[in-house]
Amino acid sequence: MSGFCQNRVVIVTGAGSGLGRGYALALAAEGARVIVNDINEQTAAQTVDEIRRAGGEARVDTRDITSYEAAGRIVRDALEIFGDLHAVVNNAGICRDRMFVSLTEEDWDRVMAVHLKGHFCISSHAAKYWRARAKAGGAVSGRIINTSSGAGLQGSVGQANYSAAKGGILSLTLVQAAELARYGITANAIAPQARTGMTEEVFADMMKKPEDGGFDVFDPANVAPLVVWLASACSAEVTGRCFEICGGEISVADGWRSGEALSKGARWTVAELDQALPRLIARTPPAQKVYGS
């Protein structure tokens, strides 16, 4: 077996179903050896079995990505089983959707833990391994692939917790890219639209399979080639980017940028701002609309 990720070792979280499963299968098909992490041991085992039947190498991992200690064990297992680590695909996620005034503290904390802390934990251990290797003079080709969403880029009504977590992941990606480049590590994010366990109920009608057998725009497998490329050696010069992908359409997100400025050269008074800000706002392009608004 040979391909874009030949002999590269990749950890994929949430790889028992949906997008993560598609990533694991595609990575293995391109030669990667995959740690299939999922809290559901049965679905993780099914993904591993499918990879092995196709001639690939994979192992099941059911550890909790929100535990820093457990995340370290995932990375150590990858090193002990396969001898190296080249990429981490932070995919696992959950939803606890409610309007903002109805969100509970538990709704907030759980989504933050799985998405934002989960992205931190494994990436932290992987980055420490890669940094140590680089400092020892070894070659490093490390890849961190984070998962944001349109909700993280522009917000989504009824998903304040999810949107905040996904927005935080985008900022985390920028910092990782800036800090880790010196060690041979890239960090990028993807914002996929696909049919998964988190979307199949809310967007069931929009994302259902075409009845005429035509192109299935929301098939999770459509996103997998992008993840394979980002996990490969080919993406070495690409870092700090967010790729939006839906079906056969892909774009690079254009995030927050400093806009037009007014400079007085001294402190503004409230009265002056009352005159200046409406004019400045009128000249500044508005943000994209929040999903559902």
Catalytic one of 123, 148, 149, 232: 149
The stretch 170-194 carries a mean pLDDT of 96
Residue 189 has phi, psi (to 5 degrees) of: -120, 155
Beta strands in 86-204 (DSSP E): 87-89, 142-147, 185-193
What is the spatial distance between Cα 70 and Cα 76, in angstroms, rounded to a whole number? 10
Distance separating alpha carbons of residues 187 and 264, to the nearest angstrom: 38
Helices 118-135 and 68-82 sit at what angle, rounded to 10 degrees? 50
* Rounded Cα–Cα distance for residues 40 and 61 (Å): 9
Show me where the domains of the chain are located.
Answer: 9-252
171 is catalytic: no
Catalytic residue among 23, 166, 232, 235: 166
pTM, full prediction: 0.91
pLDDT score of 1: 47
Q: How confident is the model at residue 214 (pLDDT cuts 50, 70, 90)?
A: confident
Fold of 9-252: Rossmann fold (3.40.50)
Is 17 catalytic? The answer is no
Lowest mean pLDDT among 13-22, 36-45, 150-159, 171-180: 150-159
CB 142 within 8 A of CB 79: no
Of 234, 147, 140, 221, nearest to 190 (Cα)? 147
Q: What are the strands of the beta sheet with 33-37, ordered from one edge? A: 57-61, 33-37, 9-13, 87-89, 142-147, 185-193, 242-246, 249-252
Instruction: Supply angle C-alpha 221, 68, 232, rounded to 5.
Output: 35
- Clarify whether 263 is annotated catalytic: no
Of the residues 162, 163, 232, 235, which is catalytic? 162
Mean pLDDT of 86-100: 96
Amino acid, single-letter form, for residue 141: S
pLDDT tens-digit profile of 132-143?
999 999 999 999
Q: Give the mean pLDDT of 193-217.
A: 67
pLDDT tens string 241-257:
999 999 999 999 998 88
> Within the chain, what is the greatest distance between any pair of CA atoms?
72
What does the pLDDT look like over 11-60, one tens digit per residue? Answer: 999 999 999 999 999 999 999 999 999 999 999 999 999 999 999 999 99
Q: What integer best gives the mean pLDDT of the chain?
A: 93
Mean pLDDT of 84-104: 96
Site of tokens 């800000």: 277
- The reported pLDDT for the residue numbered 203 is 52
